[in-house]
Structure formats: structure tokens, C-alpha cells
Structure 1
């Protein structure tokens, strides 16, 4: 099983079926804050729905198309981070992430994202990583900015968020710029 220690308080592990209840509880307890920026929240209505996500994540890993990892903070599931896909032909991927509301503001996501970036460049030998975030999602935009991704532009009306289209900032990082 994949497990990576980010620091003494933060670790990442591949999500497995045994994490289904814990993932659902975290999603459900943070539903209002997650729903502001994530269009999938209303589709998670039971532990079974979280289990389906975990099964899809394990299939993604089996197909060598990236992975989804749970982020644990002080041995509690705090959120999820992963790759949307890997474009092996162009050696690129995009990252997605979210934290439960009780875990925000502790530097957890920046440290976890840094570890994933290191893995992508040094282990997977990718050349480019992209992160997109809704323009007004300041917390999510702060992560790539702290990690010195370059803001490459804004995609207008990139995502339907329940009752409006949100614009996305696009951040990119290439291997030669990673320190």
C-alpha cells in the first residue's frame, strides 16, 4: 500500500475500500464549504457514493493514469489530493485537491501538493503540472501561488457550479522551474 509521510503530522495514503465510511463522514461534515467550489458534492449522498469514488480511484491507479490519495493530519482523514489523469504522450498532468473544513489554514494542502509535485517530476518524470482553481476561491489559488506555479491565464465560464458558471485561473509548472 502506498503511504508517504509529508511531515510528522501529515501523511498521504491511497484510498482503499476500508476508508469508505471515513471519507463519507468527512465529505458530509464539510458539505457546505465544499459545495461552494466543487460540483460533485451533491452526488455524494451516502457512504456507497464515496465507495464508488474509491473504486474509480483504484481503477485509475491500475490503468497507470494517476492516483487519488487521502490526506491524513494527526491520524485523521483531512482531505483528498490526486491527479485528474496523466497525459503520457505530453508528460503532463493536472492536480485536484480538497480539505475538510476543520483542516483548513494549517498548511496541509500546500505541503501535500509539494510532495505530489516532487513525485510527478522526480518519480514519474513528467514535464508539466497544471492546477485550475475558481477565480474567487482564494484559498485554492494560494496553493499553486505558494509553490511558484505561474499563472498562465483565466478560462472564462470553465465550470458549472450549481447555479452559475465560474471562471478558472490556470496555473502551470514545468520541471525545469521546480527547485
Structure 2
């Protein structure tokens, strides 16, 4: 789409493609959400969007992406890629920032369809958006946060070299729950071979950055 250059933005890795989703992509991503993202009785998200029936999860997934598209501005943006593995959409990986031109700091968030977990995909897709943040957008820091019982997310974060950045107490479905915050500085980031960003130049003005 000429007037929406993000539609051409993608990142490729040795196993994955992360791309800005089409409507058909969102439909398939909604199917992954409907199939399930985590085990029953566990809530890894600050906003409990998965706490509903399969149709509700699919609809919420699509509405979230529509909302992020509509609200995007240089002062506050969220780019949420679909993650493609072996020709199938398996999850989503996001990168977001507020006042990026000043802070040079971006946060990440993601989820994988439950049947695709435990295959190293989560680590590789996080590496992909870190490559976008540091090599593509010139970030100085990447940050992330996860509940203390979200062991898979915490393992990815620690594997990639983030340092602890404090804790926050939340109300999670009526009960207190602690999240751990983490920060990765540019100088602690290790660039991985085989990661490439495609069609970023035309998107830079949407982030307030020069081409």
C-alpha cells in the first residue's frame, strides 16, 4: 500500500519471517489465539485478553492490531509483526516506544501459539526485533517485563543478555502479582548473523526518523 509503507516492512532470520500483517495474516493469527496461547489457570499478560472463549480471543487479536494501526504516531508507536515459520503464522512479536526520539528506548512483547512453543522460536523472534531496534532504528536500550511465574519469557530475556531493572507489583485478576523488568543496552547487544531488515527506509518518517 503506497500510503502505508509499514505494509512492506519485514525482518528475516535463519528460520523466520516477521512481517507487518495483512488482513489475511490477522485472520490466521486470530486462529492461533483461538487455539490457545497458554495453559489454563495461568495468565502471562498484564491485560488478560486471553481470559475468554476462542472466538473472543480471535476477535480481540484483530481489534488490538487495528487499534495500534490507528493510533500510530512518531510520539507513540507499536509495530506488531506476525511471525511466520515454515509458511505458517505461529504468533506475534511487537516492538513499541513512546517519545523514542528523546528516550531511544523501545519495549518488546510477544506471544506464540501454544503448539509452537518450546522450539526456540520465541528467542529468534525476539532477536529479530532487537535487530530492528538497534541496527535499524538506532535505539540505545530495549526493555521488557514479565510476571515472575512466566518462566519461558524470563528464560529468553536472560539468554539475550538483559540486565535486571527492578520489579513492579500488579493486580492480576484480583490477586497481587510481581513482574520483573529488564533492560538491554546497545553495548550489551550481540548482533546475530543471518538477520535482515527489509523496506525500512520508507517507514522511518512514521517513527519521526530521517531516511
Q: TM-score range by the shorter chain?
A: 0.7 to 0.9
* 2:85 matches 1:76: no
Q: How many residues were matched structurally? A: 175
Q: Would you say 1:102 and 2:111 are equivalent positions?
A: no
Over the aligned positions, Cα root-mean-square deviation in angstroms equals: 2.1
Q: Is 1:51 aligned to residue 62 of structure 2?
A: yes
Partner of 2:201: none
Written as runs of structure 1 = structure 2, the 5 A alignment for 1:117-132 is 117-132=130-145
Task: Pick one of 170, 173, 177 that aligns with 1:162.
Answer: 173
| Pairwise CA distance, 1:144 | 1.0
* Deviating 4+ runs (over 4 angstroms): none
Partners of 1:119 and 1:3 lie apart in 2 by 10
Structure number with larger C-alpha Rg: 2
Q: State the TM-score, normalizing by the size of structure 1.
A: 0.87
Contact 1:133 1:170 in 2 (8 A): yes
Name the counterpart of 1:10: 16
Which structure would you say has the larger RCO, counting Cα contacts within 8 Å and 6 or more residues apart? 2
2:73 equivalent in structure 1: 63
CA offsets, 1:86-117, max 9 Å, x none? Answer: 43211111111111111111111111111111
1 CA distance for matches of 2:29 and 2:189?
32
TM-score, length of structure 2 as denominator length: 0.75
